[in-house]
Amino acid sequence: MQVLFDIKNWNRRKTYEYFKTFDSPTFNICLNLDITELYNKCITGKYKFNHILQYCALKALNEIQEFRLRISDDNVVLFDKIDGGTVLMLDDHSIRFCFYEFSDSFSLFQENALLSEASVKESLDTDPRSDNLNIIHFSVIPWFAFTSVSHAQKGKENNSIPKIVFGQFSKLSDQWLIPLSIDANHALMDAWHVNQFIIKFQESVLSF
């Protein structure tokens, strides 16, 4: 469900009005995250690492209002829930886009993710729900770490959809680290909100 967001009484109104006129209003932040606890839980083989990463990310993102804001028909709308749209590689190394419906229950989230992946692999077509507005665009680059990421852009409304990329994890001393890239629309949020996501993501990882 979505509602029209009250821009008039928004404390970021002037910032929104400033950045919404930009041809490219998005900003990018890249950093390494400590996922040692999560890695240790995943080596049992019970879970797909990709599913846990996106579940923990969506759990954190849904708690932050700014990540549930989107620009639609030159209005700002607020969604009560956001889901995930992720790149899925097929056996021939071509890619499609898959839909991960968010649920507070990880078991239900993973069940729905597996069903969505199976459907895309069988049809060889992108899940049309991945074009929803109340979504986060996810990608995973498991072959290498990175220090920066850029994305193809399509249309003004798509610029209001945050994009998150996870890279190849690596060990540093006794820590397991993973690179994380976040693209967000500066009209809708600032680096402070990204920091809130990082904090909540780490809390979600620790409590998984």
Complete DSSP assignment for 108-147: HHHHHHHHHHHHHHHH-S--GGGG-SSEEEEEE-TT---S
Whether residue 112 is contained in a domain is answered as: yes
Average pLDDT over residues 14-24: 92
Do the domain assignments include residue 58? yes
Tell whether 67 is covered by a domain.
yes
Alpha-helix runs per DSSP H in the chain: 13-19, 36-42, 49-61, 106-123, 155-158, 191-207
DSSP state letter for 186: T
The pLDDT score that the predictor gives to residue 194 is: 97
- pLDDT at residue number 149: 82
pLDDT at 58: 97
Q: In this structure, is residue 196 part of a structural domain? A: yes
**Average pLDDT of the residues of the chain:** 91
Is 169 a domain residue? yes
For 202, counting Cβ atoms within 10 Å of its Cβ (0-12 exposed, 13-18 middle, 19+ buried), the class is: middle
- What is the total count of domains within the chain? 1
CATH number, domain containing residue 36:
3.30.559.10
Write out pLDDT tens, residues 132-160: 999 999 999 989 888 888 877 776 656 89
- 96 within domain boundaries: yes
pLDDT value at 130 more than 90: no
13 domain residue, yes or no: no
Which domain range does residue 197 map to?
27-207
**Residue 48, in any domain of the structure:** yes
pTM greater than 0.85 (yes/no): yes
